[in-house]
Amino acid sequence: MIVILDLSATEEQIRQIEDMLTAQGLRADVSRGEQKIVIGVIGIPDDARAHLVEQFQTLPFVERVIPITYPYKRAARDYRPEGTIVRVGGVRIGEQVKEIAVIAGPCAVENEEQVLATARVVKAAGATLLRGGAYKPRTLPYDFQGLGLEGLKYLAAARAETGLPVVTEVMSPEDVETVCEYADVLQIGTRNMQNFPLLREVGKTRKPVLLKRGFAATVDEWLKAVEYILRGGNEQVILCERGIRGFDDAYTRNVLDLNVVPVLRRLTHLPIAIDPSHGTGRWYLVPIMAKAAIAVGADALMVEVHPEPARALSDAAQSLTPARFAEMMEELRPVAEAVGRCIRETS
Ligand code: PEP
Ligand code: MN
């Protein structure tokens, strides 16, 4: 259940609600938004909900009470109707933000020069964040597994030079502390969407998280997974669609589910990102699907760029060259404008 109060509600009135709830063994989660104060109440038994809703509706300082019957509460749209804005350094990401965040960089950090060179070119083309994996979740143990800590240091060096905040994957709970020291956004990959100990661990931090959709996860499972992070008190989460497994991988690696953008918009207040690189697996499909993503309302894009894709140690077939990335950014501008958004200017 969600209880909505006007910003003019006093601390005493909020406390009154909290006391009423604790008397019934329930916990209130008070969140002060920019327009409203929202009190979330979790764990109400089904047979007690209707009575509780009525009880709160009688309070004059309560604007509205919404009984929520779906299982994810904190991720629910009603919890923060105005939409969450994720803040990363100076970058803001969310539906209310005009500028579309473009997260670009190599699949994996391979060496310092590769990351620096990529960071420079993506920044010049208008990217707002730098991506790069130091801990790589590879299907085969013989494939390049990432540089680990060394890779994180190269990413930090690229941030120091370009000013681009860094998005990088964390694969296990034990690494969260270390990755937090270097990263600006913690990425949770498709294979770990339901790694509950990892979700709990990143939920304890106050670092923004980018949670990718499991390649065979339903939207409900995805939103239930994000609830683990939000429950820990970390409300800075971006949802990222990266393609789900279909039956035909002859021409595309995955099925990029663009339906989820309008679907998630109705269900949740969290910002939505689209990753057309993993979603298609083919470089020539990336720009056109990036345009489509903007057209359906995505708040952010994640795109893989490599100085020399043919030599990339992972995801070569879907990586854009710097020139193609710059070209794509120019093509995105009019599409963004057509839907009332914008792409950062070149520098
Ligand atoms: C990645 O971003 O490089 C990655 C491994 O993504 P995913 O988890 O979507 O496969
Ligand atoms: Mn990749």
Instruction: Say how many Å lie between the CA of residue 189 and the centre of ligand 1.
Output: 5
The H or E element spanning position 5 is strand 2-6
pLDDT in tens, 112-141: 999 999 999 999 999 999 999 999 999 999
CB 16 within 8 A of CB 55: no
Residue ranges covered by each domain of the chain = 2-67, 86-338
Q: What is the CATH number of domain 86-338?
A: 3.20.20.70
Q: Which ligand ends up closest to the CA of 275?
A: 1
For residues 290 and 301, is the Cβ–Cβ distance under 8 A?
yes
What local confidence, expressed as pLDDT, does residue 203 receive?
98
CATH 3.40.50.300 is held by the domain 2-67: no
| Ligand approaching nearest to the C-alpha of 315 | 2
**Residue owning the nearest CA to atom 6 of ligand 1:** 189
Q: Which residues surround ligand 2, an ion (CB under 5 A)?
A: 107, 315
Q: Is 335 exposed, middle or buried (0-12, 13-18, 19+ CB in 10 A)?
A: middle
Number of other residues whose CB lies within 10 A of the CB of residue 155: 29
Residue-level pLDDT at 43? 80
Query: What separation in Å is there between the alpha carbon of 224 and the centre of ligand 1?
Result: 20
Distance CA 301, CA 123 (A): 14
The number of the ligand 1 atom at minimal distance from the alpha carbon of 188 is 8
Distance CA 140, CA 59 (A): 59
Residue whose CA lies nearest to ligand 1 atom number 3? 107
Strand runs labelled E in 94-219: 101-105, 129-131, 166-169, 185-188, 209-212
What is the rounded distance in angstroms from the CA atom of residue 23 to the CA atom of residue 115? 56
Query: Which residues sit with their C-beta closer than 6 Å to ligand 1?
Result: 107, 133, 137, 189-190, 212, 242, 278
- The region, left, alpha or beta by phi > 0 then psi within -120 to 50, assigned to residue 297 is left
pLDDT for res 291 = 98
Q: How is residue 261 written in tokens?
A: 């953008």
State the pLDDT at residue 31. Answer: 87
Closest atom of ligand 1 to CA, residue 278? 9
Provide the whole-model pTM. 0.92
The residue whose CA has the least distance to atom 2 of ligand 1 is 107
Query: Do the beta carbons of residue 82 and residue 282 sit within 8 Å?
Result: no
Residue of 195, 275, 306 with the most ligand 1 atoms within 8 Å of its CB, for mutation: 275
The residue whose CB lies within 8 Å of the most ligand 1 atoms, and thus the one to mutate among 103, 107, 211, is 107
- Divide the 347 residues of the chain into consecutive groups of 10 and give the mean pLDDT of each group: 91 92 89 87 84 90 87 90 95 98 98 98 98 97 98 98 98 98 98 98 98 98 98 97 97 98 97 98 98 98 98 98 98 98 96
Indicate which residue's Cα is closest to atom 9 of ligand 1.
190
Look at residue 91 in the predicted model and tell me its pLDDT. Answer: 98
- Of 138, 185, 240, 278, the one to substitute when testing ligand 1's pocket (max ligand atoms within 8 A of C-beta) is 278
Q: Can you tell me which atom of ligand 1 is nearest the CA of 215?
A: 9
